[in-house]
């Protein structure tokens, strides 16, 4: 019998101006949470309730890393997003109680193999291989505490590709937490990617992509 594999190391992320690290439990992501992006993806922003997909915790990549261009795609896309990090959990959380679950926030990039996502959509198959691949969750250093309305941007190299405000979200962060907590019991360490504004597009080999959310530390990734 071969030896059992070693117990995997926990996934942790840097905290801004701290030597402590944030332990990641799971990653949930919201689809279509900005009206203009919903339209660019062919949806109707007036009628769709929030829906969710996931990435594995070990898809996390801290800002500044260089990652290999992912396999099985010719159309890797960026998605600039606010990421919410939970300090505590719960089920059937009321929106007015949801802020109390939040530890802090980060800038994030929900990397997407857009060609595989289009194939999955047309074949009515799951999105996992389009969304939940290795190195697919780029995160800036986390900042503790609440966040006010702020600009959210994405640059590929020097080119501004996404520009919106957090207040453009269709579903607010408390509403997202409330909805998500009706599907799963939320837990400390869970991350929630809260959706991307319009302007998603490709990142080519050799390019650098940077997401900013207000004054949060940026989430930058270099494609090998
Ligand atoms: Mn996304």
Q: What is the pLDDT of residues 178-214, one digit of tens each?
A: 999 999 999 999 999 999 999 999 999 999 999 999 9
Q: Is the pLDDT of residue 47 over 70?
A: no
Cα of 2 vs centre of ligand 1, distance in Å, is: 39
Overall average pLDDT of the 208-222 stretch: 98
Cα of 89 vs centre of ligand 1, distance in Å, is: 22
Overall average pLDDT of the 120-149 stretch: 98
Cα of 53 vs centre of ligand 1, distance in Å, is: 9
Across the chain, mean pLDDT equals: 96
* Residue-range domains of the chain with CATH: 25-223 (3.90.850.10)
Cα of 29 vs centre of ligand 1, distance in Å, is: 6
Cα of 52 vs centre of ligand 1, distance in Å, is: 10
Is the pTM higher than 0.95? The answer reads yes
Which has the minimum average pLDDT: 3-12, 29-38, 54-63, 110-119? 29-38
pLDDT at 91: 98
Backbone phi, then psi, for 40, in 5-degree steps? -65, -20
pLDDT at 46: 77
Cα of 5 vs centre of ligand 1, distance in Å, is: 33
Q: Is the pLDDT of residue 48 over 80?
A: no
Backbone phi, then psi, for 8, in 5-degree steps? -65, 145
Q: Is 207 exposed, middle or buried (0-12, 13-18, 19+ CB in 10 A)?
A: middle
Listed residue (216, 214, 221, 222) closest to 16, CA to CA: 216
Q: Is the pLDDT of residue 145 over 80?
A: yes
């Amino acid at each position: 019998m071969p030896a059992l594999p070693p117990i995997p190391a926990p996934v942790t992320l840097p905290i801004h101006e701290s030597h402590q690290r944030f332990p990641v439990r799971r990653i949930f992501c919201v689809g279509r949470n900005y009206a203009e992006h919903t339209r660019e993806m062919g949806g109707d922003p007036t009628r769709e309730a929030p829906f969710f997909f996931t990435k594995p915790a070990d898809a996390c990549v801290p800002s500044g890393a260089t990652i290999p261009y992912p396999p099985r795609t010719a159309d890797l896309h960026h998605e600039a997003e606010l990421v919410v990090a939970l300090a505590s959990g719960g089920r059937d959380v009321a929106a007015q109680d949801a802020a109390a679950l939040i530890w802090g926030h980060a800038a994030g990039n929900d990397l997407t193999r857009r060609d595989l996502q289009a194939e999955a959509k047309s074949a009515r198959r799951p999105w996992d291989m389009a969304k939940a691949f290795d190195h697919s969750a780029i995160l800036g250093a986390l900042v503790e505490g609440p966040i006010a309305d702020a600009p959210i941007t994405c640059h590929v190299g020097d080119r501004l590709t996404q520009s919106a405000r957090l207040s453009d979200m269709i579903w607010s962060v408390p509403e997202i937490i409330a909805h998500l907590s009706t599907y799963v019991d939320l837990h400390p360490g869970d991350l929630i990617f809260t959706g991307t504004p319009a302007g998603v597009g490709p990142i080519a080999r050799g390019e650098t992509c940077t997401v900013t959310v207000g004054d949060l530390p940026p989430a930058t990734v270099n494609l090998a």
